[in-house]
């Protein structure tokens, strides 16, 4: 049986990537720091995925096991050495940490003369996430091993799309997901023959796919989260029942559409249909997705290459005034959550240095940048 190693046995790992890989005939070994989840995977060897729709369908994902990365280094090295695919959905900020584990496994495979053609794919909400991961892995390899690894291992970027909220089940492994899913992988960087995996699309150029997804699903979602929280909502579906919030989200997405259609010469009608589909996904009444989850890690979401600042700045460079994006960024600066380290750091920075410097630092922009000036002007109006 083909072996896949997936870092991150969390919501998207179990609810999407693990399910696709298992169905494609892989034995999937999840790697996680959460020992309770790993123990449960090893004990049960399967888990249930529930589809959040009127039909309430569910299916069982088989051939899964787990490795606790903090304590099972040798087992992890041996498993990586046998794998033909390594994937990850741990969160962009954690890629640096798992790079060390992946590098150790690849170096072990090389030393044991086991290194064969394989691929490493980061499945994160991040542009060029695999390129970033590859850079971090390379930093842990000596020159000789690095050369061998780069000749055998492919590092394709990918775009993943499926809404998987925080789970509330008695069973630790059961995961509820939305019906929609899309996993797009960069074909030119794939080493070896292109596999036929149901639910995975290989493309020549990933940029239009990842940008379309990040600047529609994730930008729209972020707008609902930050504006919805301002209005006292708790979940995405309930916030979308408010006509004013829905209208604001539509305005945000018409701004990102303007950018995307222009940059990638998309067919405006087809893109409009894509946007409408995404909006209907946000309204799914069978999915209870917390705004605090969708808005999590505000410093990452306010950074330069991310879902809010990147399109807003690009539009302003074209002489446009993306007012709905500016309102969303202003609302994001009010995001407070005592369980979110980035939210705490953001609010501390605002208190200590003022909103102008706090936002300029987060977005890596000068304090007199046009976007910073516009956001600061709106910030006072977006009181929570
Ligand atoms: N939830 C979703 O709908 C989607 C998530 N994603 C991407 O997946 C990422 C993860 O999202 P979720 O699954 O919702 O989060 P999650 O918190 O449910 O899962 C992340 C998992 O990574 C594990 N982890 C943390 N540090 C680790 C380490 N050093 N080694 C191994 N495992 C480690 C955590 O214990 C957790 O089980 C997101 O940041 C995003 O980039 C992408 C598309 C959809
Ligand atoms: O996972 P992130 O990047 O923190 O952002 C949350 C977003 O990711 C998703 O979980 C999946 O794309 C969306 O639900 C949401 O827009």
Encoding tokens for residue 91?
């969160």
Q: Which bound ligand lies closest to the C-alpha atom of 289?
A: 2
Query: Does residue 384 surpass a pLDDT of 60?
Result: no
* DSSP letters for 56-84: --EEEE-SEEEEETTT-HHHHHHHHHH-S
Cβ–ligand 2 distance for 213 under 6 Å, the answer: no
Q: Which bound ligand lies closest to the C-alpha atom of 306?
A: 2
The pLDDT assigned to 380 comes to: 84
Encoding tokens for residue 200?
């995975």
Q: Which residues make Cβ contacts (< 8 Å) with residue 355, sequence separation at least 6?
A: 333, 375, 376, 379
Measured distance CA(32)–CA(42) in Å, rounded? 12
Q: Tens digits of per-residue pLDDT, 154-190?
A: 999 999 999 999 999 999 999 999 999 999 999 999 9
Q: Is 15 annotated as a binding residue?
A: yes
Q: What is the mean pLDDT of residues 45-68?
A: 97
Cβ–ligand 1 distance for 18 under 6 Å, the answer: no
The pLDDT assigned to 381 comes to: 78
Cβ–ligand 2 distance for 125 under 6 Å, the answer: yes
Dmax over CA atoms of the chain, in Å, equals 63
What's phi and psi for 378, nearest 5 deg? -80, -25
Q: Is 12 annotated as a binding residue?
A: yes
Q: Is 5 annotated as a binding residue?
A: yes
Q: Is 6 annotated as a binding residue?
A: yes
Query: Does residue 383 surpass a pLDDT of 70?
Result: no
Q: Among 31, 32, 220, which residue has the most ligand 1 atoms within 8 Å of its CB, making it the best to mutate?
A: 32
How many C-beta neighbours within 10 Å does residue 145 have? 19
Cβ–ligand 1 distance for 32 under 6 Å, the answer: yes
Q: Which bound ligand lies closest to the C-alpha atom of 158?
A: 1
Encoding tokens for residue 235?
């979940």
Q: Whose CA is nearest to atom 17 of ligand 1?
A: 10
2-204 folds as Rossmann fold (3.40.50)
Query: Does residue 201 surpass a pLDDT of 80?
Result: yes
The burial of 230, by beta-carbon neighbours within 10 Å (0-12 exposed, 13-18 middle, 19 or more buried), is given as: buried
Question: Within 13 Å of residue 115, how many CA atoms lie on the same side as its CB?
Answer: 22
* Residue 90 CA, ligand 1 centroid: distance in Å: 3
Q: Tens digits of per-residue pLDDT, 92-134?
A: 999 999 999 999 999 999 999 999 999 999 999 999 999 999 9
Task: Tell me how long the chain is.
Answer: 384
Q: Is 155 annotated as a binding residue?
A: no
Q: Among 8, 40, 178, 222, which residue has the most ligand 1 atoms within 8 Å of its CB, making it the best to mutate?
A: 8
Q: Do domains 2-204 and 208-379 have the same CATH topology?
A: no
DSSP bridge pairs for 235:
290
Q: Where are the domains of the chain?
A: 2-204, 208-379
Ordered strands of the 58-61 beta sheet = 58-61, 47-51, 175-177
Average pLDDT for the chain: 97
Contact 186, 127 (CB under 8 A): no
Q: Whose CA is nearest to atom 31 of ligand 1?
A: 32
Q: Whose CA is nearest to atom 3 of ligand 2?
A: 125
* Residue 113 CA, ligand 2 centroid: distance in Å: 39
Measured distance CA(338)–CA(340) in Å, rounded? 6
Burial 244-257 (b: 16+ CB within 10 A, else e): ebbebbbbbbebbb
Q: What is the mean pLDDT of residues 71-85?
A: 98
* Residue 263 CA, ligand 1 centroid: distance in Å: 30
Architecture of domain 208-379 in this structure:
Orthogonal Bundle (1.10)
Q: Tens digits of per-residue pLDDT, 333-356?
A: 999 999 999 999 999 999 999 999
Q: Is 7 annotated as a binding residue?
A: yes
Q: Tens digits of per-residue pLDDT, 218-259?
A: 999 999 999 999 999 999 999 999 999 999 999 999 999 999
The pLDDT assigned to 318 comes to: 96
The pLDDT assigned to 216 comes to: 98
Q: Tens digits of per-residue pLDDT, 263-315?
A: 999 999 999 999 999 999 999 999 999 999 999 999 999 999 999 999 999 99
Q: Whose CA is nearest to atom 1 of ligand 2?
A: 125
* Residue 217 CA, ligand 2 centroid: distance in Å: 8
% of the chain surpassing 70 pLDDT: 99
Interface pTM (ipTM) of the complex?
0.97
Q: Among 52, 122, 294, which residue has the most ligand 2 atoms within 8 Å of its CB, making it the best to mutate?
A: 294
Cβ–ligand 1 distance for 5 under 6 Å, the answer: no
Q: Is 8 annotated as a binding residue?
A: yes
Cβ–ligand 1 distance for 51 under 6 Å, the answer: no
């Amino acid at each position: 049986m083909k072996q896949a190693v997936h870092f991150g046995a969390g919501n998207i790992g179990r609810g999407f990537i693990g399910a696709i890989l298992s169905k494609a005939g892989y034995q999937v070994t999840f790697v996680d720091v959460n020992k309770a989840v790993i123990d449960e995977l090893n004990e049960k060897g399967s888990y249930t995925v529930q589809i959040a729709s009127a039909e309430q369908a569910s299916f069982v994902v088989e051939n899964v096991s787990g490795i606790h990365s903090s304590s099972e280094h040798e087992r992890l090295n041996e498993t990586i050495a046998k794998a033909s695919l390594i994937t990850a959905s741990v969160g962009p900020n954690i890629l640096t940490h798992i790079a060390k584990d992946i590098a150790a496994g690849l170096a072990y495979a090389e030393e044991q003369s086991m290194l064969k053609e394989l691929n490493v794919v980061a499945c994160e909400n991040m542009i060029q996430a695999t390129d970033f991961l590859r850079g971090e892995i390379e930093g842990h390899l000596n020159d000789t091993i690095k050369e061998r690894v780069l000749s055998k291992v492919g590092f394709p970027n990918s775009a993943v799309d499926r809404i998987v909220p925080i789970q509330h089940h008695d069973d630790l492994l059961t995961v509820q997901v939305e019906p929609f899913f899309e996993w797009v992988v960069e074909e030119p960087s794939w080493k070896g023959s292109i596999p036929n995996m149901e639910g995975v699309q290989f493309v020549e150029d990933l940029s239009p796919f990842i940008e379309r997804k990040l600047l529609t699903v994730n930008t729209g979602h972020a707008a609902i989260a930050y504006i919805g929280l301002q209005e006292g909502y708790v979940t995405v579906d309930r916030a979308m029942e408010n006509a004013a919030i829905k209208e604001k989200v539509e305005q945000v997405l018409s701004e990102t559409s303007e950018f995307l259609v222009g940059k990638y010469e998309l067919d405006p009608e087809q893109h409009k249909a894509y946007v409408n589909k995404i909006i209907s996904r946000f309204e799914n009444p069978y999915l209870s997705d917390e705004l605090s989850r969708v808005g999590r890690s505000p410093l990452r979401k306010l950074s330069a290459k991310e879902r809010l600042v990147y399109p807003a700045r690009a539009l302003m460079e074209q002489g446009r005034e993306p007012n709905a994006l500016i309102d969303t960024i202003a609302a994001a600066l009010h995001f407070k959550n005592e369980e979110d380290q980035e939210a705490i750091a953001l609010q501390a920075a605002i208190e200590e240095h003022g909103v102008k410097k706090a936002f300029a630092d987060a977005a890596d922009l000068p304090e007199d940048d046009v976007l910073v000036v516009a956001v600061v002007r709106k910030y006072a109006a977006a009181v929570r």
